[in-house]
Each structure stands twice: as structure tokens, then as C-alpha cells.
Amino acid sequence: MIRFADFSRIVFFTGAGLSVESGIPTYRGKGGLWEEYDYESCACQRAFDADPERVWAFHDVRRGFVANCEPNEGHRIIAHVVQASPSVHSVKVITQNIDGLHQRAGSSGVVELHGSLWRVRCDLCGRCKENLEAPIGDRRCACGAWRRPDIVWFEDLLDPAVLQEAADAIAACDLLVSVGTSGAVSPAADLPRIAVARGAMCVEINPEETPVSGLYQHHLRGPATKMLRELSAS
Ligand code: OAD
């Protein structure tokens, strides 16, 4: 039986499945966001350059929706592992999610591989700041250019410093718990391979098998909250 208390440096590698129990749909599969929306018209730089208002309208809907969702028990278990298990020395959350629910549950130092729904940036003058409005008030930067969501859209590159921070934390962990990700999007999906190569215990939480399930020694097939509760049992 795997328990958090038997490890000292834990990395949680999370995806959209963790936020399902908060009411936020996943991206792929039945009911997924990319079934309803075409990323080429709302989640890539080309779409933004062609029609920024339309892309902002899509993101304003998402902001409004997510603002009304709450972190679930899974987010809270992850945020409180160190307090709940004194033998655990450190916890690092590496997420592909942009919803900010880890932080709202109390996690700090979260590595957001795909950026955040709650930051905006200006590619002209470089200003990047938190913005929690839903809908966003001013879509223009003080310099006059368009602000864009600070999200890694399709065809964007991940920030190399963020990727490195994630890789370093994974290289140093003795337990990696993947929660609710399809493993379909690289380079994020390749990160758990570092833990495998370093000999860490790797656990996948997902109700379904994924293309990367073979990487993991242990599979917990069920919803994130229930499976995280099992791991946190003392
Ligand atoms: P996906 O939508 O690709 O996958 C979600 C996974 O969650 C699936 O494997 C489901 O089986 C699983 N799942 C569903 N319900 C669950 C539950 N209650 N508990 C645990 N797991 C559950 O989402 P991601 O892998 O996160 O990019 O997608 C990766 C990236 O693709 C996202 O970050 C996003 C998207 O395009 C950006 O937003 C930039």
C-alpha cells in the first residue's frame, strides 16, 4: 500500500481531471472543452492576432465559470500533505491547470506549466500581472497594445525557466503522483519520465488508462478525491 507518510519529497503532477470534482470539465473526451470549442479559433496566437475580441470573449466565459467553482477535497489534501504527514519533507505541485484552484486551496510555489487564466501580459511592453476580473475590464495594456491571457496556448512554447523548475523538482522527488491528466500534451507529458529514470515511486491517479500509464508502477483507478484520500490515510 502506498502512503504519503512513507516518502519525503513528493511531487504532484496534475491535470484537468483533478478539477472535475470542482465542476470544471476536462479538455479531451466526452464533454471535454475541445469537443465544444475549436482551439484554432480561440486558443492560439493566430486566432488572437486575427480577432482578439473573440478570443477574449472565450476567455471571459472561462474566467466567469471558474470564478464560481471552488477547490475540491483533492486540492485541499495536496495542499496539506506536509501538515498531515510530518515525515514528508517537501511537496511540490506541478500543474497543467490554469484554473488557480491549487493556490485557492492553500498550495504555494505552484509550478504552472501552462500559465494562468488569472494573469494577463502584454507582448509589446512585457508587462505581466495578476488580474482576477471576470470579465476582464480593460483588454488593453497601458502602452496601448492588446493584453493577452498569460496562458500557453496551442503552438506556444513553454517558458524554459518554468519547465526547468518542474524538471528539477521531479528529479529530486521520491514519490511522483500524477493526478487527472491524459498525458496527451508534450512537453509536459514527458516530465514524469525524469522521475521514472531517477527511480522514484510513480503513481497514476486516473479513472481511465492513458497512453502513458505504462510509465507508472501503481495505478489508482478512480476519481482524484477518493484516491488521494487513500494515499493520505495514515
Ligand atoms: P485532459 O482533458 O487531456 O485529460 C483529463 C484526464 O482526467 C483524462 O485522462 C480523464 O480520464 C481524467 N479524469 C476525468 N475525471 C477525473 C477524476 N474525477 N479524477 C481524476 N482524473 C479524472 O486534460 P490534461 O491532461 O490536463 O492546455 O490536458 C493537458 C493540457 O491540454 C491542458 O493543460 C490544456 C489542454 O489543451 C492548456 O490549457 C494550455
pLDDT by residue (tens digit) across 156-176? 999 999 999 999 999 999 999
User: What is the domain-level CATH number for residue 51?
Assistant: 3.30.1600.10
- Looking at the fold, whether 45 and 61 belong to one and the same domain comes out as yes
Whether residue 207 has its Cβ less than 6 Å from ligand 1:
yes
pLDDT at 97 over 90: yes
- Looking at the fold, whether 31 and 106 belong to one and the same domain comes out as no
User: What is the domain-level CATH number for residue 218?
Assistant: 3.40.50.1220
What length is written for the chain?
234
Does the annotation count 218 as an active-site position? no
Region 67-74 average pLDDT? 98
**What percentage of the chain reaches a pLDDT higher than 90?**
95
Per-residue pLDDT at 188: 97
- Looking at the fold, whether 140 and 203 belong to one and the same domain comes out as no
Number of domains into which the chain is organized: 2
Per-residue pLDDT at 30: 86
Per-residue pLDDT at 131: 97
Whether residue 69 has its Cβ less than 6 Å from ligand 1:
no
User: Which residue has its alpha carbon closest to ligand 1 atom 29?
Assistant: 185
- Pick from 135, 151, 167: which residue ends a domain? 151
pLDDT at 198 over 90: yes
Q: Which triple of cell numbers denotes residue 129?
A: 500581472
- Looking at the fold, whether 9 and 43 belong to one and the same domain comes out as no
Region 183-187 average pLDDT? 95
pLDDT at 184 over 90: yes
Region 69-81 average pLDDT? 98
pLDDT by residue (tens digit) across 114-153? 999 999 999 999 999 999 999 999 999 999 999 999 999 9
Q: Which triple of cell numbers denotes residue 213?
A: 500509464
pLDDT at 234 over 80: no
Residue with C-alpha cell 498569460?
Answer: 150
- Looking at the fold, whether 93 and 162 belong to one and the same domain comes out as yes
Q: Please report the atom of ligand 1 found closest to the CA of residue 115.
A: 39
- Looking at the fold, whether 130 and 204 belong to one and the same domain comes out as no
Q: Which domain holds residue 125?
A: 25-68+118-151
pLDDT by residue (tens digit) across 28-62? 988 899 998 999 999 999 999 999 999 999 999 99
- Looking at the fold, whether 89 and 49 belong to one and the same domain comes out as no
Question: Global pTM?
Answer: 0.97
- Looking at the fold, whether 219 and 197 belong to one and the same domain comes out as yes
Q: In what order do the strands lie in the sheet with 148-151?
A: 128-130, 115-121, 148-151
**Residue 114 CA, ligand 1 centroid: distance in Å:** 13
Per-residue pLDDT at 29: 87
- Asked if residues 49 and 62 have their Cβ atoms less than 8 Å apart, the reply is no
Whether residue 107 has its Cβ less than 6 Å from ligand 1:
no
Whether residue 150 has its Cβ less than 6 Å from ligand 1:
no
pLDDT by residue (tens digit) across 3-34? 999 999 999 999 999 999 999 999 998 889 99
